[in-house]
Chain A
Amino acid sequence: MSAHILLTLPILFPALGVALCALFWSNKPVQRIVSLVASVGLLGSALALTAAVYDGTVLATSFGNWDAPFGIVFVADMFAAAMVLITGIMAVAIGIYGLNGDIEPRENAFYHLLYQGLLLGVTGAFLTGDIFNLYVWFEIMLISSFGLLALGGTRAQLDAGIKYVTLNLIATTFFLITVAFLYGITGTLNMADLARVLPTLENQGLVTTLAVMFLMAFGSKAAVFPLFYWLPAAYHTASAPIVAIFAALLTKVGVYAIIRTFTLLFDGDAGYTGPIVAGIAIFTMVTGVLGAAAHFDIRRILSFHIISQIGYMLFGIAVATPLAVGGSILYVIHHIIVKANLFLIAGVIERAGGSFDLKKLGGLYASLPMLGVLFLIPALSLAGLPPLSGFWSKFTVIKASLDANHIALAVSGLLVGLLTLYSMLKIWNEAFWKAAPASSAEPLRAWQADRKTRLLMLTPIVALAAITLTIGLFAEPFVDFSMRAGAQLLDKTSYIDAVFGPSQNITEVNP
């Protein structure tokens, strides 16, 4: 397949999903099929894309056949393709889980349409090679997430929606203003072109200023300290499948944008931005995990852990060695699977135990021992225990920071891992080991009686847990892939050459 088709299909499937879900907006069965088929199509095209870039080639296409600095280009290197692939996996897994009836009364209205819209925005943001186009994909993703969050229309959701919408709109407008300033000093918005132009500018101080402005704009998307307020204010109000897809993808798009811009565009002054990012990473990890320790609602605990884990993903930019960037990529991939899975399990706990509140839960290990095992796999992986995926990703980022003498970063990373374990054990003790409260008998009976719902909810959880175990037990290919993707990010020529055509030295390593 040509690069044009390979790069178009991952956004074509969700776009078609949006169109068809809007056309058949009154027909729920058709929408369900359309949504699932589009998600499977996204996964399939992402697999093809990843296979095409696996050997280190970078693919590029320019929409409408307008030449590179003027038209909008889509570029896929190993990092982008891996992110699209993980989006595809999440789309299918949470798509199946979402049929369980959690969104039943409102499913007709907009759920499938917005779900596909969210996937469209996320995939576009991963693939685009134009920074203004990135803003457009951000907005598509955001307006879909606004809709999904407020879908239920409960009082808590509307209240959360106001904060989520306002803070995110301010962040994206700030992003837009930053893009305008960037355009003002460079005259281009194509990322490959920017990578060529930015180092040649006379006033490098301005470039560093812009780098910090982008860090703020993307940082509030990624929910880093001190810009994370919107996340714990909103996430816990949405129903389980919606918050799972949010947790899996939304903040990670911000992390992706930070890693992309700081390896491709703003690597010139790493001596100044590196310590800033390191400080942000430490504070993000610590505040997130402490926030989680204070709460007793599973969804709020897990929401704070999203923030805490974002800190680890910034190690790559803070340390800026190949090992650290590769470790960050591995961390993002591992984290998306684990975090989404924990939220899916939280949904099951709510179904079988009747509540998200740890104080009203208990005795689940006695009644559903398999669920306990399924919970422990992602929970211990999140804390970073061997032999799970979290161990290898934590190991690489902390080793990278120790190698580069970032002792504070490494120590806080290890301590936060311990505190993460504390939170996970709190959920385990309260929901699984504590004696079952009297109120939990009724939901448990309903859960055990409904075989179809159980199948819909547990299949994705088992599949994601299997992926976590696979990364943990057969880490070599995944670590190797991340390291090569990280090295590719740091070597900017392959990206620039893919967009503008191989310029001078055509020494493609293509065995």
Chain B
Amino acid sequence: MEPVFAIAFGVMVAVAAYLLMSRNVLRIVLGLLVLGNAANLSIFTAGRLESRVPPLVPAGEAALAGGANPLPQALILTAIVISFALVAFTVVLFESAHRRLGTLDADAMREAEPLPQATTKKSRKVEESA
């Protein structure tokens, strides 16, 4: 099973990379989601895929025998919780940015770092007036 999961992981990372390089910020959010799930899949695969028995200790016994590895599941749950919060925040941020900036094109968002031509023109004007 491991090769299948490894290939699936690779495909997901490739899809995520493709989406993340898009100029549309909506696709970037989707890319982040796919990348997060690829990470979860990698944790799952790294924790070995040997057993399908749930990781519950049977009554009367002290140790887990034959069950799946519970640690990757705990890690993935934590990672899901975190990525859930982050993606929720990201969507709200992108939504309000879309409302304020009026565009979804990442290349058109030049508020924080204006294009160099604009600044040189401005600075030339300042120098002339000074």
A and B touch in their complex, CB below 8 angstroms: yes
Q: A residues within 8 A CB of B46?
A: 180-181, 183-184
Whether A452 sits at the interface, judged by CB under 8 Å, is: no
Q: A residues within 8 A CB of B25?
A: 162
CB within 8 Å for A132 and B75 given contacts A143-B85, A173-B32 = yes
Are B90 and A165 neighbours in the complex by a CB distance under 8 Å? yes
Are B32 and A170 neighbours in the complex by a CB distance under 8 Å? yes
Q: A residues within 8 A CB of B43?
A: 176, 179-180, 183
Are B79 and A176 neighbours in the complex by a CB distance under 8 Å? yes
Q: B residues within 8 A CB of A170?
A: 20, 32, 35
Q: In this complex, what residue of A is CB-closest to B78?
A: A136
Would you give the shortest CB distance from B95 to chain A, in whole angstroms?
10
Are A169 and B93 neighbours in the complex by a CB distance under 8 Å? no
Interface of A: prevailing SS: helix
Whether B65 sits at the interface, judged by CB under 8 Å, is: no
Q: B residues within 8 A CB of A165?
A: 89-90, 93
Whether A390 sits at the interface, judged by CB under 8 Å, is: no
Cβ 8 A contact of B42, one of A146, A180, A232, A237: A180
Cβ 8 A contact of B32, one of A135, A142, A169: A169
Q: Among A148-156, A193-201, A247-255, A479-487, which stretch is in contact with chain B?
A: A148-156
Are A139 and B96 neighbours in the complex by a CB distance under 8 Å? no
Question: Apart from A143-B89, A166-B90, what 8 extra A-B contacts exist at CB < 8 Å?
Answer: A135-B79, A158-B93, A158-B100, A176-B79, A179-B43, A183-B43, A183-B72, A189-B75
Cβ 8 A contact of A166, one of B28, B100, B111: B28
Q: A residues within 8 A CB of B75?
A: 132, 180, 183, 189
Q: In this complex, what residue of B is CB-closest to A159?
A: B111
Complex CA gap A170/B113 in Å reads: 21
Are B94 and A162 neighbours in the complex by a CB distance under 8 Å? yes
Q: A residues within 8 A CB of B56?
A: none
Are A159 and B89 neighbours in the complex by a CB distance under 8 Å? no
Would you give the shortest CB distance from B121 to chain A, in whole angstroms?
14
Are B112 and A236 neighbours in the complex by a CB distance under 8 Å? yes
Complex CA gap A153/B93 in Å reads: 9
Are A156 and B82 neighbours in the complex by a CB distance under 8 Å? no
User: What sequence of 0s and 1s flags, for each residue 24-57 of chain B, a beta carbon within 8 Å of any chain A beta carbon?
Assistant: 0100100010011011001101110000000000
Which B residues from 52 to 90 make CB contacts under 8 A with A? 71-72, 75, 78-79, 82-83, 85-86, 89-90
The 10 residue pairs across chains A and B that have the minimum distance between CB atoms: A184-B46, A159-B111, A160-B112, A158-B97, A180-B43, A180-B42, A176-B39, A156-B111, A180-B46, A159-B109
Whether A426 sits at the interface, judged by CB under 8 Å, is: no
Are A177 and B42 neighbours in the complex by a CB distance under 8 Å? yes
Complex CA gap A169/B86 in Å reads: 8
**B residues neighboring A (CB under 8 Å):** 20, 25, 28, 32, 35-36, 38-39, 42-43, 45-47, 71-72, 75, 78-79, 82-83, 85-86, 89-90, 93-94, 96-97, 100-101, 106, 109-113, 123, 126
Q: B residues within 8 A CB of A237?
A: 112
Cβ 8 A contact of A147, one of B38, B45, B89, B100: B89
Cβ 8 A contact of A153, one of B82, B96, B111, B123: B96
CB within 8 Å for A162 and B38 given contacts A136-B82, A184-B45 = no
Q: B residues within 8 A CB of A166?
A: 20, 28, 32, 90
Q: A residues within 8 A CB of B36?
A: 173
Among A142, A162, A237: residue with most chain B CB under 10 A: A162
Q: B residues within 8 A CB of A183?
A: 43, 46-47, 71-72, 75
User: What sequence of 0s and 1s flags, for each residue 112-136 of chain A, a beta carbon within 8 Å of any chain B beta carbon?
Assistant: 0000000000000000000010011
Whether A106 sits at the interface, judged by CB under 8 Å, is: no
Q: B residues within 8 A CB of A327?
A: none
Are B100 and A169 neighbours in the complex by a CB distance under 8 Å? no
Q: In this complex, what residue of A is CB-closest to B37?
A: A173
Q: In this complex, what residue of B is CB-closest to A296?
A: B123
Would you give the shortest CB distance from B114 to chain A, in whole angstroms?
9
Question: What are 10 inter-chain pairs, A to B, with CB distance below 8 A?
Answer: A150-B96, A155-B111, A156-B112, A162-B94, A162-B106, A165-B90, A166-B20, A173-B32, A179-B43, A233-B113
Are A162 and B93 neighbours in the complex by a CB distance under 8 Å? yes
Are A177 and B39 neighbours in the complex by a CB distance under 8 Å? yes
Are A163 and B32 neighbours in the complex by a CB distance under 8 Å? no
Are B20 and A155 neighbours in the complex by a CB distance under 8 Å? no
Q: A residues within 8 A CB of B112?
A: 156-157, 159-160, 163, 233-234, 236-237
User: What sequence of 0s and 1s flags, for each residue 438-457 of chain A, a beta carbon within 8 Å of any chain B beta carbon?
Assistant: 00000000000000000000
Would you give the shortest CB distance from A467 to chain B, in whole angstroms?
32
Whether A4 sits at the interface, judged by CB under 8 Å, is: no
Cβ 8 A contact of B47, one of A143, A169, A184: A184
CB within 8 Å for A181 and B93 given contacts A143-B86, A155-B101, A170-B32 = no
Complex CA gap A411/B113 in Å reads: 32
Complex CA gap A193/B118 in Å reads: 55
Are B97 and A162 neighbours in the complex by a CB distance under 8 Å? yes
Are A180 and B39 neighbours in the complex by a CB distance under 8 Å? yes
Would you give the shortest CB distance from A151 to chain B, in whole angstroms?
11
Would you give the shortest CB distance from B102 to chain A, in whole angstroms?
10
Whether A28 sits at the interface, judged by CB under 8 Å, is: no
